[in-house]
Structure 1
Amino acid sequence: MDSLRGIDSFIRAVETGSIAAAARQLGITPAAASQNIARLEQEIGTRLLVRTTRRLALTEAGKIYFERVRRVVSDLDAAQAALSVLHERPQGRLRVAVSAAFGRHVIARMLPSFSAAWPDVSVELILNDERLDHIRDEIDISIRFFRPTGAGLVTRRLGSVPIIICASPDYLAEHGVPREPEELKNHSCLLFRTPYDGRLLPWGFIRNGIRFEPELHVSIICNDIDALATMTMAGAGISRLGAFLARDLVASGKVVSLFATGSASSGAEADPEPLDFHICLQDRQAMLPKVRLFIDHIIEEWRKNPVR
């Protein structure tokens, strides 16, 4: 048992970058976590960590040991979680990070029914397009339009969201209606800068099965999709919005859809490239009842009401 405490403290210290952070995750004091690691090192007869005032560093032996034991602990966690399904109600905190606009307009609507079914699970919804570290930021599940990377991270595709290229009626009345994507270079385009890597989100189109990105005249850049939608309605230019946000705006007449999806054929018309969303989690948490049930719930809700 002492060995397992030491191994768990060691793994979490390496993953979080500090003994203090590992202790917080384990619910013990930093001194206790440090003692657990020291006893483990004494038991196996070798130094695993080099402790400095600023950070931890793995010794050569520590690197080898970490790669071996982290898989063992992951298997133990999965086994315990699988057994808990038989006799425990899921409970505790569940931290879910979601791309901001998608979380605001899609995932948030799915949470009330989950909470009603599993009242002992406390869900914390984090709307954020920044790059996250599941371990450091203590994220149980993330749902992103890009695939995060990291040790032990697994992803599952949730589905595709149609993209609507749109502008306000006033803008189109003043500047004209582009009939094909190549004409966007003559219009004011509102672009989204992705906070997780600082790049501008590309405007991809599909024509006759071939993907291309037209030349754009960039007028305004913003790192928030809802703000871009507001500027679009105000007549600032043409924007690229997910259907979960744009459909209601089109239906109400606040914006007009351009290059409508499903119309691409052999002519100049082209379909905006859809956006894929992925569910991501650490493999060691995949069998936790609250995690499994939340993912099943989101997938079922998406199946019943996909974004079109």
Structure 2
Amino acid sequence: MDTLSGINSFVKAVESGSIASAARQLGITPAAASQNIARLEQYMGVKLLTRTTRKLSLTESGDVYYAKVSDVLHRLELARSAVDQLQGVPQGRLRIATAVTYGRHIIAPLLPAFCARYPSLSIELISTDFNVNHSNDDVDLSIRFKQQLEPHLVSRRIATIPMVICAAPSYLQRAGIPRTPEDLKEHACLLYRISFNGLLFRWTFIRDGLHFEPELRPSIISNDIDSLTQMAVAGAGIARLASFIAEPLIASGQLQALFDESSDQNDDTRVDAEPLDFHICYRDRAEVSLKMRLFIDYLLACLPHTEA
């Protein structure tokens, strides 16, 4: 019997709370994961899980068994990583979670060259603006903006992205051009709601070295930056966008930057939108595998505006 497949399915089901979730992590069907667990239970001669349509729970025997095997998979991964380090060849799967827009516009275009460099690696990119649990979701690395950081994770800043306050020329012709951030309270503002905590993303500015937040008038709120971008282009209002999104649209004339260097600001009145930091996160500094280290180094070498 393939005991390891059964243990793998069992541990993932317990940690994720469902067989379906375990199957997604393992890249198999829920039926296959259920069969793996059933074969393990048959091999052990005891029932390990009680399964209903709503709940998955450990039996007394399952609780004892899980306590003994829960770290087996982690130790096996560490053993494989040690062999990889010795051989200098990264192998296996690397699961990376990233904020949706940053993953779509920045990380995804970088992956083909990385995969070509290390063909023995299999990459899984998980795009979500919700915080992932590195253990339960079996994630090696997560890329998060500053507001998503969690104290129990090791984090390293990999990029500082300028933010651009901008709007379509059609909106500015209709509503007028705000000359200072304080003028934004008279304008339709397109705001981003952070998915994982439900808070609105704050528009912070820097003037004379001091940070401040002007009063805003929300016109449209969305938890998807790309949707807000399209609405800004359509003339719905003023948006706060990362430079990698805004700059091509400004260059094409679809958006116009506000409060930037090319405006009529002088040195005494200069104001900048506070930039956005992105960090790469992992569970334990002592357990950074070769494949993780190589990917982190690759990002640091490739990313614009990098401040390690």
TM-score (norm 1): 0.75
For residue 131 of structure 1, report the CA deviation from its aligned partner: 2.8
Conservation of the 8 A alpha-carbon contact between 1:50 and 1:56? yes
For residue 253 of structure 1, report the CA deviation from its aligned partner: 1.5
C-alpha distance in 1 between matches for 2:209 and 2:113: 39
Match in the other structure for 1:84: 84
Change (3 A) 1:228 1:10: closer
C-alpha distance in 2 between matches for 1:285 and 1:116: 27
C-alpha distance in 2 between matches for 1:79 and 1:119: 20
For residue 20 of structure 1, report the CA deviation from its aligned partner: 9.2
Matches within 5 A, 1:169-184: 169-184=169-184
Conservation of the 8 A alpha-carbon contact between 1:262 and 1:271? no
Match in the other structure for 1:227: 227
Matches within 5 A, 1:122-137: 122-137=122-137
Matches within 5 A, 1:1-308: 15-17=15-17, 78=78, 81-87=81-87, 89-145=89-145, 146-149=147-150, 153-260=153-260, 267-283=268-284, 286-302=287-303, 305-306=304-305
Change (3 A) 1:12 1:124: closer
For residue 95 of structure 1, report the CA deviation from its aligned partner: 2.0
C-alpha distance in 1 between matches for 2:285 and 2:74: 5
Aligned residues between the structures: 299
For residue 219 of structure 1, report the CA deviation from its aligned partner: 0.5
Query: Which range moves more in the overlay, 268-277 or 11-20?
Result: 11-20
For residue 298 of structure 1, report the CA deviation from its aligned partner: 1.2
Conservation of the 8 A alpha-carbon contact between 2:84 and 2:91? no
Conservation of the 8 A alpha-carbon contact between 2:300 and 2:306? no
For residue 143 of structure 1, report the CA deviation from its aligned partner: 0.7
Conservation of the 8 A alpha-carbon contact between 1:147 and 1:278? no
C-alpha distance in 1 between matches for 2:283 and 2:297: 16
For residue 134 of structure 1, report the CA deviation from its aligned partner: 2.2
Query: Which range moves more in the overlay, 11-20 or 158-167?
Result: 11-20
Match in the other structure for 1:44: none
Residue 130 of structure 1 aligns to a residue whose secondary structure is coil
CA offset digits 1:121-161 (Å, max 9, x no partner) = 121222221232223323222111133438x6322211211
For residue 83 of structure 1, report the CA deviation from its aligned partner: 4.0
Residue type of the partner of 1:217? Answer: R
Query: What is the RMSD computed on CA atoms of the aligned residues?
Result: 4.3
CA offset digits 1:93-117 (Å, max 9, x no partner) = 2222211111111112211210110
For residue 170 of structure 1, report the CA deviation from its aligned partner: 1.3
C-alpha distance in 2 between matches for 1:185 and 1:20: 47
For residue 8 of structure 1, report the CA deviation from its aligned partner: 9.3
C-alpha distance in 1 between matches for 2:294 and 2:98: 17
Which sections of structure 1, spanning at least 5 residues, go unmatched? 1-6, 38-48
For residue 300 of structure 1, report the CA deviation from its aligned partner: 1.4
Query: Which range moves more in the overlay, 140-149 or 49-58?
Result: 49-58
Residue 306 of structure 1 aligns to a residue whose secondary structure is coil
Conservation of the 8 A alpha-carbon contact between 2:9 and 2:36? no
For residue 256 of structure 1, report the CA deviation from its aligned partner: 0.9
C-alpha distance in 2 between matches for 1:274 and 1:30: 47
For residue 208 of structure 1, report the CA deviation from its aligned partner: 2.1
Change (3 A) 1:225 1:200: same
Query: Which range moves more in the overlay, 158-167 or 281-290?
Result: 281-290
Change (3 A) 1:18 1:265: same
CA offset digits 1:48-95 (Å, max 9, x no partner) = x9978676889xxxx9xx99x989996885465234311263222222
CA offset digits 1:13-40 (Å, max 9, x no partner) = 7644579977986x99779879999xxx
Which sections of structure 2, spanning at least 5 residues, go unmatched? 1-6, 42-47
C-alpha distance in 2 between matches for 1:238 and 1:307: 27
Residue type of the partner of 1:131? Answer: N
